[in-house]
Structure 1
Amino acid sequence: MGHLDHAALGWLTPVLSYVMACIGAALGLRCTVRALGATGSSRRNWLVTAASAIGTGIWTMHFVAMLGFSVSGTDIRYDVPLTVASLLVAMAVVCAGVFAVGYSRDRTRALFLGGLTTGLGVASMHYLGMAAVRLHGDVNYDPVLVGLSVLIAVVAATAALWAALNIKSPVAVTVASLIMGAAVSSMHYTGMFAVSVRVTPGGDVLPGATAMQFIFPLAVGLGSYLFLTSAFVALSPTAGEREASASAQRPVESVARQSAPLDVP
């Protein structure tokens, strides 16, 4: 059996991955709240942004954590198409979950449907990402821990969507995103503790890319996307703020009209 190390780079990868999960969750919840206050194409755009934020946050969290994953006696490589597929699956399934909440008449049913879909999306992304791992040996999973990790993912997603529907204050959104980040991280490490590797040393070169060649640049790119989108969302006015500024301008315009000098022929 190969010895597995989940934090080969020390505390850096668990902490950084948790931060990425929290940023993705915070941005996703914020966008979902904004979507529920909007209509038409604006609502759709906010929901797509929410899904891409949550999907990107989860994916970045997973692979930043994977940078710290090592197995004694073998190198690790990543299958590039499968890794990219795991990102697309995360976004697509989370999108379905978020839209179920955004457009459903029945909130309770939407919450369960959205939570289940999003949670399964998180879990499928994780295990697709794990399927992309190439090493000298056989990877086995403890079915009980795998089941537990899927359950954590579904409960976490449902809780996050509930928070998006019921929480409006920035402090509460921050707390909810910290909890969501912790849940996603615990789901990841539960899934990782389910893994055991039987190493069969081989001299042949492993297919795929190293983490630093492929995972690291992609994680940095997606992390930058999250930060920039967060800044944009934080700075863009809410519907309430827009109404307030519009109503503040109206009296000014009417006063300006009244004080304008009359044209005397």
Structure 2
Amino acid sequence: MEGTVDGFRYGVVTPVAAYVMACLGGALGLRCIVRSLIDRQSWKPGWLALGAASIGCGIWTMHFIAMIGFQVEETRIGYHLGLTVFSLAVAIVVVGLGVFVVGYRGAGRATLCLAGTVTGLGIAAMHYLGMAAMQLNASIRYDPVMVALSVLIAIVAATAALWAAVTIRGFLTSLGASLVMGVAVSGMHYTGMAAVSVHLHGTVSSWAGDTPTSLLLPMLVGPVVFLLLAGVVVMFDPLLVLGDGEWNRPRPPAPAQEERSGRTAAARSWSHGQG
């Protein structure tokens, strides 16, 4: 028996909230990566790790906020705790691989393609691991064409995001890139969900698992709090709140250098006067 699938149980609330979280994670991640590139004296691994964790948490949070709005009318849905947490780890680790590759090797064509492919496959893996964590009295099947399209969207989105991370420096342009990234990630998710069909089991099981709200909402608190704290770090970092091109302006000389320069100029003037 075919199940009745509804991906928008709460209307536009869950898609909009999911999109906002994807944009927030993308914006924070891009700014952290930019921060690692504009100041060679900063702790580069730390900023890259914070950027990767922000993007990974944003993507994962986007997925499970969207899944709160997913239901099959004929059966309850629960989630396996271990697989749900594992999907978050996959998102952060694989995004981190791509971020560190472009952070240290730049945005050459071959490097970007490799990093984007690995990261995109990781995003897709996170999505389908999250789907595998679902527990319901039915089996889930996928349209192979739609699955392939969702993976392709994930790879393109990841490649574009990594390219933006190492080439776009301005605040407003980074913000625009994060909005586009949010569209791409959301598009990948809902393309993957369009591939889903649910085939109900003939008998009703006595399964008693956690509901989406009882499990997902508490689990979402951690990544959301992390994103907010990362946002505070970014907001209060001087280099990241400067306008476009501010970090490229020459720094004024230190007071000691100014004093030495003044003494040198005075000595030269005195020697010319003696001559």
Is 2:148 the counterpart of 1:143?
no
Report the Cα distance in structure 2 between the residues aligned to 1:179 and 1:236, rounded to whole angstroms: 24
- AA in 1 matched with 2:21: M
Shift of 1:129: 0.3
Partner of 1:83: 84
CA contact (8 A) 2:9 2:71 kept: yes
TM-score by length of 2: 0.86
Paired with 2:87 and 2:206, the residues of 1 have a C-alpha distance of: 24
1:37 Cα deviation (Å)?
Answer: 2.4
Distance 1:31 1:79 in 2: 32
Write the distance in 1 (CA, Å) between the matches of 2:107 and 2:14.
Answer: 40
Shift of 1:208: 3.9
Q: Which residue number in structure 1 is paired with residue 234 of structure 2?
A: 233
Per-residue deviation, 1:243 = 10
Question: Residue 250 of structure 1 aligns to which amino acid in structure 2?
Answer: P
SS state at 1:54 partner: helix
Alpha carbons of 1:253 and 1:205: their partners in 2 closer, same or farther (altered >3 Å)? Answer: farther
Cα distance in 2, alignment partners of residues 145 and 243 from structure 1: 45
> Deviations along 1:122-168, whole A, 9 cap, x unmatched?
10000000000011111000000000000000000111111112111
Matched-pair contact (CA < 8 Å) for 2:23–2:182? yes
Partner of 1:183: 184
Helix, strand or coil at the partner of 1:8: coil
Corresponding residue number in structure 1 for 2:98? 97
Moved more, 192-201 or 75-84: 192-201
- Amino acid in the other structure paired with 1:80: L
Q: How do 1:119-134 residues align onto structure 2 when only pairs under 5 Å count?
A: 119-134=120-135
- Alpha-carbon RMSD: 2.5
**1:164 matched residue in structure 2:** 165
8 Å contact kept, 1:116–1:154: yes
- State the 1:209 CA deviation: 2.3
Task: Give the CA deviation at 1:170.
Answer: 1.0
Q: Which is worse superposed, 60-69 or 29-38?
A: 29-38
Match of 2:269?
none
Task: List gaps (5 residues or longer) in structure 1.
Answer: 259-265
Aligned to 1:250: 255
1:238 partner SS: helix
Change (3 A) 1:82 1:148: same
- 2:273 corresponding residue in structure 1: none
Q: Is the 8 A contact 2:77 2:211 kept in 1?
A: yes
Gaps of 5+ in 2: 264-275
Rg bigger for which structure? 2
Percent identical residues: 49
Partner of 2:268: none
**Equivalences, count:** 256
> Does the 8 Å CA contact 1:77/1:206 hold for their aligned counterparts?
no
